[in-house]
Structure formats: structure tokens, C-alpha cells
């Protein structure tokens, strides 16, 4: 007990030794032994082993994995279903239009492009040109 | 002069545990007889209500026998039993909080319903019990295992999964705080 010398307190230890003495005296040890053995006998060993064999740490890890995978699935589905930025902006702009203006927009969207609509040079490749068009192109390049 | 009768050797805890593993029920009963009172003292000291001690002792033994396959003899069976008792008590407190059971006052702790017994229960004991309730669980259990049960720091450390030095520090912190309650 030299380890406790700086804080040694006989009174404290004496009180601590008395603590719970009455509860211990009241305990019917023989009955407790019988009850424990009876419970061990009635509860199947297999069940005991299964429940007792799973360490809480593994249970915690398994629970965390389930939570992480579940959260991943939820986030992925939400991400997939979210509206695109363009749609959001367009939606916000359309909110400010009147009924007539909306009708005009719908009509404009429904119309196909005109024949005289300019085509960007980036939209057409050499492979899209016919033999005549290629010859005309070469001649124009030669001047 | 008659020859001395052979003295029946008292089986060790390890022998009883091995016998129980082999299906010997009386060995389990003997382990309960051997350690039940010390466990009851520990549980009462750790804050168990007097009315609950009997059930908590039983539950602790049931859990201990279920988990005996994991007991590697790293500490004494009794010390290991008390760490399980600490877990059982913690679970019981959690359940009682969930059920919104109002705990009895300190003057009723670790006593039965006999008013006379309550009167004679030492004031210092009540104060110590109240102080123990305020301690972190590790400090409380180290203090009880040391001061109440008389275990060495090495034994306590092995049971609680810490080092003897850390157990010593926990004990000293506990004593420092408890002195304020008991003085």
C-alpha cells in the first residue's frame, strides 16, 4: 500500500470496505446459485454461443458499413434525380413570363430550323461532302 | 494413533471453469457460491439499488458463463466477473432511465426497507456512495476494486484493459475527489 502513501486515507478505505456489506449479507447465495444454474440449463447453449460470440466491436463495424452503404445509395439517387443547372435557370426565367410570352416560347421551340439557317463549318466534315462539292472546294482553294 | 484423513483439495476457479465447460453444473454453482457476495458488494458500491442487487448478481453470472469462452485467464475470475458486473449495472441504469424510473435517494441506497437500518447506516458510507456516483466509471471501478476488494493495480489493469500506471492514476484521482465527500 506504499503506492497510496501520498493519498492514503484509512477512513476512506475503511468506509469503502463497508460499502455494500449489507447488500451482500442479504443475498441468498444458495438460491442465487440454483437460479443461475437453472437458467444456464434452460437457455440453449447454441443461442448462448451465437449471441455471446459476436463481439460488440464487430457489431459496430457492421452497423457502420450498413449506414455508409445506405447513405451512399441515398446520395446517389438524389444526385441522379436533381434538375440540371440549365433547367433550373430556364425554370427561373420562365417563371417571370406571361401566358402569351410562354405560348410564343413554346411555338418557337416547336418550329424546325429554316432552310437558310447558317450551318457552322464545325458542324460539317470533309467526309460529309460529295465528290462534286469536294472538287469545287479544291478549285476554290487553288484560286 | 489413527492416520490423518486426507484433506479434500479445494478446486481452483480455473478447475471449476474447466469442469463447467465439460458440462459439470455443480462446478458452476460452486463458482456462484464463491464469488456472489463479493460481487454483490461491488455492485452495491457501484450504485446498484438494494432491491436490484439480487437480480444484477444473477444477470452478471449468466453473462459471465455465456462469455467464459473468451476468458483467457488474463486476470482472476473474480476481477473479470466484476468488470462484467459493471457492464450489467450500466445497462440496467440505461434501461431505468429509458423507463423514466426515478432513482431512490442516497439515504435509501444499499439498504432495505427497514427504517431502523436506514437510521444506523453510516453517514460516511452514504457520502462515499454519493461521491462514487459522481465519478467517471473507470475511476469508480478502479477505486472499488482497489479499496473495497483489495486487488493490486496489476490485477485491476489486466481486468479493465489498461496499464497498472493508468489504474494507479485513476485511483488517486478518485481518492482525491472522494475525500471531499467523506471528510
pLDDT tens string B101-133:
444 444 444 445 555 555 545 788 888 999 999
CA distance linking residue B169 with residue B167, whole number of Å: 5
What local confidence, expressed as pLDDT, does residue A121 receive? 46
Q: Is B151 on the interface with A (CB under 8 A)?
A: no
The DSSP secondary structure of A46-108, one letter per residue, reads: HHHHHHHHS-HHHHHHHHHHHHHHHHHHHHHHHHHHSPPHHHHHHHHHHTT--HHHHHHHHHH
Put simply, whether A99 touches B (Cβ < 8 Å) is no
CA distance B155 to B142: 10
Find, in chain B, the residue whose alpha carbon is nearest to that of A38: B25
Give residue B160's pLDDT: 95
Res. B45: pLDDT tops 80: yes
Question: Residues of A with CB below 8 A from B41's CB?
Answer: 19-21, 23-24
The per-residue pLDDT of chain B, averaged, comes to 86
Other C-beta atoms within 10 Å of A117: how many? 7
Q: Dump pLDDT digits (tens) for B137-159.
A: 999 999 999 999 999 999 999 99
Q: Which residues of B touch A13 (CB under 8 A)?
A: 147
Determine contact, residues B71/B103, Cβ cutoff 8 Å. Answer: no
| Angle between helix B53-66 and B77-98 (nearest 10) | 120
SS3 B8: coil
Helix (H) or strand (E) holding B176: helix B164-182
**Is residue A18 within 8 Å of residue B148, measured between CB atoms?**
no
Q: How far apart are CA B72 and CA B159, in angstroms?
A: 11
Q: Which own/partner contact pairs does A54-62 have at CB distance under 8 Å and 24+ positions apart?
A: none
Q: What is the mean pLDDT, run by run of 10 residues, along chain A of 143 residues?
A: 53 88 93 95 60 60 83 78 54 68 70 47 64 81 71
What whole-number percentage of chain B has pLDDT above 70?
A: 82
Chains A & B: contacts with CB separation below 8 Å: 132
Asked whether the beta carbons of residue A26 and residue B53 sit closer than 8 angstroms, the reply is: yes
pLDDT band at B5 (very low <50, low <70, confident <90, very high): low
Its pTM stands at: 0.62
The verdict on A34 touching B (C-beta cutoff 8 Å) is yes
ipTM, interface predicted TM-score of the complex: 0.79
In this predicted structure, which of A127-136, B17-26, B66-75 has the lowest mean pLDDT? A127-136
Amino acid at each position: 500500500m506504499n503506492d497510496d502513501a501520498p493519498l492514503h486515507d484509512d477512513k476512506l478505505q475503511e468506509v469503502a470496505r463497508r460499502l455494500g456489506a449489507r447488500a451482500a449479507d442479504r443475498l441468498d447465495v444458495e438460491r442465487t446459485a440454483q437460479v443461475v444454474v437453472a437458467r444456464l440449463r434452460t437457455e440453449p447453449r447454441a443461442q448462448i454461443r451465437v449471441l455471446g460470440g459476436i463481439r460488440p466491436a464487430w457489431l459496430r463495424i457492421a452497423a457502420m458499413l450498413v449506414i455508409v452503404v445506405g447513405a451512399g445509395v441515398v446520395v446517389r439517387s438524389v444526385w441522379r434525380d436533381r434538375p440540371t443547372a440549365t433547367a433550373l435557370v430556364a425554370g427561373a426565367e420562365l417563371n417571370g413570363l406571361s401566358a402569351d410570352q410562354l405560348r410564343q416560347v413554346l411555338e418557337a421551340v416547336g418550329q424546325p430550323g429554316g432552310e437558310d439557317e447558317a450551318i457552322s463549318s464545325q458542324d460539317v466534315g470533309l467526309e460529309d461532302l460529295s465528290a462534286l462539292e469536294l472538287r469545287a472546294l479544291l478549285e476554290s482553294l487553288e484560286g | 494413533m489413527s492416520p490423518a484423513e486426507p484433506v479434500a483439495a479445494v478446486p481452483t476457479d480455473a478447475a471449476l471453469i474447466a469442469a463447467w465447460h465439460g458440462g459439470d453444473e455443480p462446478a458452476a454453482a460452486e463458482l456462484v457460491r464463491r464469488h456472489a457476495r463479493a460481487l454483490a458488494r461491488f455492485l452495491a458500491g457501484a450504485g446498484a439499488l438494494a432491491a436490484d442487487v439480487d437480480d444484477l448478481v444473477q444477470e452478471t453470472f449468466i453473462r459471465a458463463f455465456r462469455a467464459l469462452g473468451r476468458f483467457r485467464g488474463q486476470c482472476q475470475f473474480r476481477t473479470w466477473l466484476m468488470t462484467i458486473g459493471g457492464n450489467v449495472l450500466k445497462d440496467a441504469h440505461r434501461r431505468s432511465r429509458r423507463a423514466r424510473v426515478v432513482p431512490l435517494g442516497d439515504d435509501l441506497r444499499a439498504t432495505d426497507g427497514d427504517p431502523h437500518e436506514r437510521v444506523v447506516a453510516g453517514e460516511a458510507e452514504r457520502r462515499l456512495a454519493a461521491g462514487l456516483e459522481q465519478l467517471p466509471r473507470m475511476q469508480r471501478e478502479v477505486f472499488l476494486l482497489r479499496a473495497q476488494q483489495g486487488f493490486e493495480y496489476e490485477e485491476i489493469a489486466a481486468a479493465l484493459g489498461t496499464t497498472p500506471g493508468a489504474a494507479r492514476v485513476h485511483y488517486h484521482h478518485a481518492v482525491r475527489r472522494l475525500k471531499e465527500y467523506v471528510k
